Amino acid sequence: MIIAIDGPAGVGKSTVAKLLAARLGYLYLDTGALYRAIAWKVLHEGVELADHARVANLLEAMSVNMQFQNGSMQVSVDGHDITGELRKPEVTSAASIVSAIPMVRAWLLPIQRQIGQQGSVVAEGRDIGTTVFPFAPLKFFLNADATVRAERRHRELVAAGHRETVETTYQNLLGRDLRDRNRSVAPLVPAVDARPIDTSTLDVEQVVAQMMAVVSAAL
């Protein structure tokens, strides 16, 4: 069983996907972490984000691995655990840029599908229902007002010790939305068979409850 959850940044996907996976006893696959791992590697090696040929060279020599522990996902690149690096603002913005490179998406596709074969999975990202697992029997597309999403993302950043204004968070989020929605390969769009949920006025429990009702009816 694969449950696909897609939507823009700051919509609450990770939180609800993790909770849903825990309640169902499924693996939680955070596909954004894979794009972030590549972004981390590109920054770490000092490669220009616009230099696609060098990004391709990096991918050829790079290994990315995931370990699933207590419902969360640890990511290592070339044998080093980099999970703690992935949420840094510079990695966040680089991830949005590298994720628009078609070859990066093609490289990650079999990795994601292989995890999908490991058992029942709640997979979260931007193109899960459209591209990675188009035959997933259950698909959700979360959305929320950009201001609400920016406030949520800002609270997370502050809690993690990063300092920036809500306005900066808001502008960065709009920039990512624009890139994610307009890239040529696997842009952020709802799958035709995805169930939309607007999370603007819902808390995490309410979103998970809506999803659980759908999942229970389907199982």
Of 12 and 125, nearer to ligand DC (C-beta) is: 125
The footprint of ligand DC on residues 53-112 (CB under 6 A) is 95-96, 99
Q: Which residue(s) pair with 64 in the sheet?
A: 77
Closer residue to ligand DC, CB minimum distance, 56 or 216: 56
Compute the least distance from the CB of residue 131 to ligand DC, in Å: 8
Do residues 190 and 196 lie in contact, with contact meaning Cβ atoms separated by under 8 Å?
yes
DSSP, residue by residue, 186-219? S-S---TTPEEEE-TT--HHHHHHHHHHHHHHH-
Task: Kindly tell me which residue out of 4, 16, 36, 215 binds ligand DC, with binding defined by CB under 6 A.
Answer: 36
The answer to the question of residue 12 lying near ligand DC (CB under 6 A) is: no
Near ligand DC by CB under 6 A: residue from 18, 41, 126, 152: 126
By CB under 6 A, name the one of 26, 31, 149, 157 that touches ligand DC.
Answer: 31
Which position among 32, 40, 42, 59 is part of the footprint of ligand DC (CB under 6 A)? 32
b/e string for 75-87 if b means 16 or more Cβ within 10 A?
Answer: bebeeeebbebbe
The total of other beta-carbon atoms located within 10 Å of residue 67's CB is: 11
Provide the binding-site residues for ligand DC, judged by CB under 6 A.
9, 31-32, 35-36, 95-96, 99, 125-128, 176, 180
